[in-house]
Amino acid sequence: MKTASLLIAFLLLQTINAQEITKDNTGISIDVIIDNITNNNGKVLLSLNTEETFMKGKGIMNLQSEIENGKIHVTFNNVPPGKYAILALHDANDNKRMDFDTSGMPMESYGMSNNEMSYGPPQFSDASFTVGKENLSFNIRF
């Protein structure tokens, strides 16, 4: 009986903590789907960035995913409210970085939130979005 009481108390504490996370907006998730990957070689590397970390090599949250049938689906969890941008790279040779040809052009596919693909390097202002109280979903195109 004592064990059952302790178990119920523990479960109640977990429920209260989960509710507090939701109230504080730290339980927001961002789903990312990429479904036009040309092959299953390597992995897809994704980074969630603030303006300060954008294009600096590593975001505030980083994920990687195996590719199955030219697709991935990943989720950034517990994202606090704020302004962010997502960068994604198909690291086909699995060397954990983007490869460039001799003229400086990327040799591997990449994309970003909002799917803005202008000439030149990606810009935070083109890729940025705001996290508030609702979960978000992006379909990034390479």
Residue 93 lies in a domain: yes
In a domain, 100, yes or no: yes
- pTM summary value: 0.80
What is residue 27's predicted lDDT score, i.e. its pLDDT?
Answer: 83
In angstroms, the CA 100 to CA 88 distance is 16
pLDDT tens, residue by residue, 10-54: 333 343 334 344 444 468 999 999 999 999 999 999 999 999 999
Residue 10 lies in a domain: no
Q: Which domain holds residue 90?
A: 28-139
- Contact (Cβ atoms closer than 8 angstroms) between residue 106 and residue 100: yes
| 13, 19, 124, 126 from 24: Cα distances, Å | 17, 9, 26, 28
Report yes or no on 12 lying in a domain. Answer: no
* Separation of alpha carbons 49 and 83, rounded Å: 9
Q: Which residue has the tokens 């994604």?
A: 88
Query: How crowded is residue 53: how many other Cβ atoms within 10 Å of its Cβ?
Result: 18
Name the pLDDT band for 57 (thresholds 50, 70, 90). Answer: confident
Whether residue 51 is contained in a domain is answered as: yes
Q: Is residue 74 part of a domain?
A: yes
Number of domains in the chain: 1
Q: Is the pLDDT of residue 112 over 60?
A: yes
Amino acid at 94: D
User: What is the per-residue pLDDT across 72-97, written as a single tens digit (0 to 9) for each?
Assistant: 999 999 999 999 999 999 999 999 99
> Is 3 contained in some domain?
no
Asked whether 37 and 141 are in contact (CB, 8 A), the reply is: no
Could you tell me if residue 14 is inside a domain? no
CATH number at residue 34: 2.60.40
